[in-house]
Structure 1
Amino acid sequence: MDNRHVRNVRRVWAAALLASTLAFSVAACGGDGEGEAKAPAASSSTAKDEGENAPEGETLPDRSKTLATLKNDEGIEMIVYSATRDSGGFLTISGDFKNPGGESFTTPVVWSGQEEAVAGAGPSLAAMTLVDSVGKKRYYVLRDTDNRPLTTSNYASSIESGESLNFFAQFPAPPNSSTKVDLQFPGFPNATIEIS
């Protein structure tokens, strides 16, 4: 078995694991708090309106804890709710982009990254990276067998005033000895987030 075949098998396995994780997350999400039902419903309809595909549009981040809130020059907030390590060797970041301003925000092309290989996948968050300063490594968003990034993709070209775009991005997990990583995303300041 050559290395290329092994990589392809691993990518297929990663995509299958992601799909099952997302399905489990959707099944596990239940509203038991007051006002909680309104927020996910709004985000879910926003995601569908923005053209995300079904698994990504239906998966909402757990908003019970905030790891970081970042703001770009246009006032858009990037709120990171979780950085979850799973037993399969993956790390999934989830959160929201919120537009609290009075005008529509056009999502920049630079969010998709500079790799020509993922350009055909449409808008994505492939430019997001994680830096493990303890292990001295940089991690990039994983790709599936068709070179599509395992992250929120095909979202609308703008986030309207008062609306939000929920997101996820999946990375190879750093070693267990690394409990924090630095999140880097174009247009936003770097943030150190804790891995759970």
Structure 2
Amino acid sequence: MAATLAVSVTACSSSDDGGKKPANAASEKPAGNNGNSDSGKTVPDTSKVIATLKGSDAGIEMVLYSVTRNEGGFVTVNGEIKNASGKRYTTPLQWSGEEKDVARAGRSLAGMTLVDSKEKKRYYVLRDTDNRPLTTTGFKPSLSADSSLQFFAQFPAPPESTTEVELQFPGFPNAPIEIS
């Protein structure tokens, strides 16, 4: 029994984060990941780009890597926002959305939506039981020159018959994307 307890204590104490997980820990392993990472986080598979959107500000672009229907009735979008402008870019507050409850979670990408034109429905970023958005959160208020922000966002899944939706996000053009 003492040996089992020693192994359990060792396993629990070997974590780099002191056994604590960030608020969005469940969302750090979005679907479509290749599992390769040197920081302990799972990153999206960046080998396939499904869309690149040029932002309204020069040098800012959003690259989408996957839009995946997951078991459990949700869709996960993985991508990256790149700042190739050569100067610091202040991320707009509109990215976080306008809901007061979500604003308490800090900076996020909760302003992102998916639109199903066929069913005439708009899907907002899912929330957890504490009303925090299931998307990348807590990033800095600006992106330095030539840097990027990898992101994910989870949405309720449209009906199985819907295979294409339109991604909408403040500062970027609407983009029709296919759900895989």
CA distance in 2, matches of 1:131, 1:166: 22
Which of residues 51, 54, 61 in structure 2 aligns to 1:68? 51
Unaligned runs of 5+ in 2: 1-24
Counterparts of 2:143 and 2:67 in 1: how far apart (Å)?
Answer: 24
Equivalent-residue separation in structure 1 for 2:122 and 2:131 (angstroms): 19
Name 2:12's counterpart in structure 1. none
Match of 1:187, SS state, is: coil
Q: 1:172 offset after TM fit, Å?
A: 0.4
Uncovered stretches (5+) of structure 1, i.e. residues with no partner: 1-17, 31-39, 45-53
Q: Which has the higher strand share?
A: 2
Task: Give 1:13's aligned residue.
Answer: none
Cα distance 1:98–1:83, how it changes in 2: closer, same or farther (>3 A)? Answer: same
CA distance in 1, matches of 2:65, 2:32: 14
In structure 2, what is the Cα distance between the partners aligned to 1:152 and 1:140? 14
Contact 2:32 2:66 in 1 (8 A): no
Residue pairs, 1:115-194, within 5 angstroms: 115-194=99-178
For residue 19 of structure 1, give the secondary structure of its aligned residue in structure 2. Answer: helix
Q: Which residue of 1 aligns with 2:35?
A: 29
Q: How far apart in 2 are the matches of 1:176 and 1:89?
A: 10
Counterpart Cα distance in 1 of 2:30 and 2:170: 29
**Could you state the TM-score of these two structures normalised by the residue count of structure 2?**
0.80
In 2 relative to 1, CA 20–181 (structure 1 residues): closer, same or farther, beyond 3 Å? Answer: closer
| Partner-residue secondary structure (3-state), 2:104 | helix
Distance 1:129 1:147 in 2: 17
Residue equivalent to 2:63: 79
- Partner residue of 2:19? none
Deviations 1:43-92 (Å, cap 9, x if unpaired)? x6xxxxxxxxx8xxx23221121111011122201001100001211100
TM score, norm. by length of structure 1:
0.73
Q: Which secondary structure state, in structure 2, belongs to the residue aligned with residue 121 of structure 1?
A: coil
Once residues 124 and 98 of structure 2 are traced to their aligned partners in structure 1, the CA distance between those partners, rounded to angstroms, is 12
Q: Which stretch shifts more, 59-68 or 170-179?
A: 59-68
Does residue 1:95 correspond to 2:79, yes or no? yes
Task: Judge conservation of contact 1:132–1:182 (CA < 8 Å) in 2.
Answer: yes
| Higher-Rg member (1/2) | 2
Bigger helix fraction: 1
Counterpart position of 2:26: 19
Q: Distance in 2 between matches of 1:63 and 1:132?
A: 25
CA RMSD of aligned residues (A): 2.1
Could you list the runs of 4 or more consecutive aligned residues of structure 1 that deviate by over 2 angstroms after TM superposition?
Answer: 18-21, 23-26
